[in-house]
C-alpha cells in the first residue's frame, strides 16, 4: 500500500477525539435520563432525604461515568449510567430500614424506662412512710396561702408598694395541694421525684432543709421566702 493512502497520525487523533466526544455525549444523555427517572421515583416517596439521595447519587455516578470514559471504559460507563435508579432505590430502602430500626429502639427504650420508673422509683410509698413517721404532713391550701402572703408582705407591704397584677407569687395558689407536703423535722427527699411524680415541699422557719435529691420537685422555704429547685434557686416564685 502506498503511503499516500495511509491515515496520518493527526487524522487518527482526530478520529479518536471525535469518537470519545460522541461517547461523552452518549453517556451524558443516558445518565441524564436515568437521573431524571431516579428523581421522579424518589419524588413519590415524599421524603426530602430520599430526594437528596437521588440527586447526590446522580452527581457522583456522573463523575465516575466521565472518569470511565476518559479511561476508555465506555461499556462500564454506560452500565453505571443505567444503574443510577437501582442504586438510588437501594440506598432509599437502606435509609428507611435504618430509620425504622432506630425508631423501634427508641420506642422500646422509652417503654423500658417508663416501666422502670413506675416500678422501682415511685416516691409515693416513701412519702407515705415519712408521713407515718411524722417527718412530713400533707399541706393544706392555708399553708400555701401563708407562704404567698409572707412573700408579698416582705416584698411589697413593708415597702408600701402595690402588688402588681402579674406578680408571680399570685400563682402559688395554683399548686396542686394534693401533691404538696409540709416538712416537720429532719427529712431526706425520696428518689424518683421527677416528671409526674414531682411534688412541692414547704419548709417552715426553724425546720432544717431536707437533704437528698430534689429531682423535678420544688421547695418553698419560709425562712428565706424563696422557691428552690434544680433549675433555679432564686427569690422568684416560679421554678
Name the DSSP class of 50.
Answer: H
By the 8 A CB rule, do 114 and 121 touch?
A: no
Three-state DSSP class for 215?
coil
Residue 34 or 113, more confident:
34
Least confident residue range of 95-104, 111-120, 197-206, 224-233: 111-120
Question: Is residue 236 very low, low, confident or very high in pLDDT (cuts 50, 70, 90)?
Answer: very low
Residue 64 inside a domain? The answer is: yes
Three-state DSSP class for 52?
helix
Residue 139 sits in the same domain as residue 194: yes
> What pLDDT, on a 0 to 100 scale, did the predictor assign at position 2?
45
Tell me how far the alpha carbon of residue 199 is from its chain's centroid: 27
Residue 204 inside a domain? The answer is: yes
Residue 132 sits in the same domain as residue 111: no
Residue 95 sits in the same domain as residue 154: no
By the 8 A CB rule, do 58 and 91 touch?
A: no
Residues 6+ apart with CB under 8 A from 199: 123, 127, 179, 180, 181, 193, 217
Q: How many domains does the chain divide into? A: 2
Residue 239 inside a domain? The answer is: no
Residue 130 sits in the same domain as residue 227: yes
Cα–Cα distance, 38 to 148 (Å, whole number)? 66
Cα–Cα distance, 131 to 145 (Å, whole number)? 22
Residue 33 inside a domain? The answer is: yes
Question: Is residue 232 very low, low, confident or very high in pLDDT (cuts 50, 70, 90)?
Answer: very low
Domain boundary among 55, 86, 117: 117
Q: What is the CA radius of gyration of the chain?
A: 37
Angle at 128 between CA 127 and CA 131, to 5 degrees: 90
Residue 92 inside a domain? The answer is: yes
Residue 224 sits in the same domain as residue 131: yes
By the 8 A CB rule, do 126 and 190 touch?
A: yes
Residue 196 inside a domain? The answer is: yes
Residue 112 sits in the same domain as residue 143: no
Residue 156 sits in the same domain as residue 100: no
Residue 95 inside a domain? The answer is: yes
Domain boundary among 117, 147, 162: 117
Residues 6+ apart with CB under 8 A from 69: 20, 23, 24, 27, 77
Question: Is residue 171 very low, low, confident or very high in pLDDT (cuts 50, 70, 90)?
Answer: low
Whether residue 208 is predicted with pLDDT greater than 90 in this model: the reply is: yes
Whether residue 207 is predicted with pLDDT greater than 80 in this model: the reply is: yes
Residue 230 sits in the same domain as residue 162: yes
Residue 149 sits in the same domain as residue 86: no
Q: Which three cell numbers stand for residue 42?
A: 424518589
> What pLDDT, on a 0 to 100 scale, did the predictor assign at position 230?
64
What range does the domain containing 86 cover?
A: 3-117
Residue 203 inside a domain? The answer is: yes
Residue 54 sits in the same domain as residue 140: no
Residue 83 sits in the same domain as residue 177: no
Residue 201 sits in the same domain as residue 132: yes
* Maximum mean pLDDT: which of 15-24, 36-45, 200-209, 229-238: 200-209
Domain boundary among 73, 92, 117: 117
Amino acid at each position: 500500500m502506498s503511503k499516500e493512502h495511509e491515515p496520518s497520525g493527526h487524522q487518527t487523533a482526530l478520529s479518536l477525539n471525535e469518537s470519545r466526544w460522541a461517547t461523552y455525549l452518549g453517556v451524558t444523555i443516558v445518565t441524564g435520563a436515568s437521573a431524571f427517572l431516579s428523581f421522579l421515583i424518589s419524588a413519590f416517596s415524599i421524603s426530602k432525604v430520599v430526594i437528596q439521595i437521588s440527586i447526590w447519587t446522580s452527581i457522583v455516578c456522573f463523575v465516575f461515568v466521565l472518569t470511565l470514559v476518559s479511561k476508555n471504559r465506555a461499556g462500564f460507563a454506560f452500565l453505571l449510567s443505567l444503574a443510577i435508579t437501582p442504586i438510588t432505590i437501594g440506598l432509599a430502602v437502606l435509609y428507611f430500614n435504618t430509620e425504622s430500626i432506630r425508631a423501634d429502639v427508641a420506642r422500646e427504650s422509652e417503654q423500658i424506662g417508663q416501666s422502670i420508673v413506675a416500678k422501682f422509683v415511685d416516691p409515693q410509698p416513701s412519702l407515705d412512710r415519712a408521713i407515718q413517721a411524722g417527718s412530713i404532713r400533707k399541706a393544706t391550701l392555708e399553708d400555701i396561702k401563708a407562704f404567698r402572703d409572707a412573700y408579698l408582705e416582705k416584698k411589697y407591704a413593708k415597702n408600701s408598694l402595690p402588688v402588681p397584677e402579674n406578680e408571680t407569687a399570685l400563682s402559688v395558689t395554683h399548686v396542686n395541694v394534693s401533691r404538696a407536703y409540709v416538712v416537720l423535722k429532719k427529712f431526706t427527699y425520696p428518689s424518683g421525684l421527677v416528671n409526674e411524680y414531682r411534688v412541692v415541699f414547704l419548709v417552715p422557719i426553724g425546720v432544717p432543709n431536707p437533704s437528698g435529691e430534689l429531682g423535678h420537685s420544688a421547695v418553698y422555704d419560709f425562712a428565706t421566702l424563696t422557691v428552690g429547685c434544680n433549675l433555679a434557686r432564686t427569690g422568684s416564685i416560679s421554678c
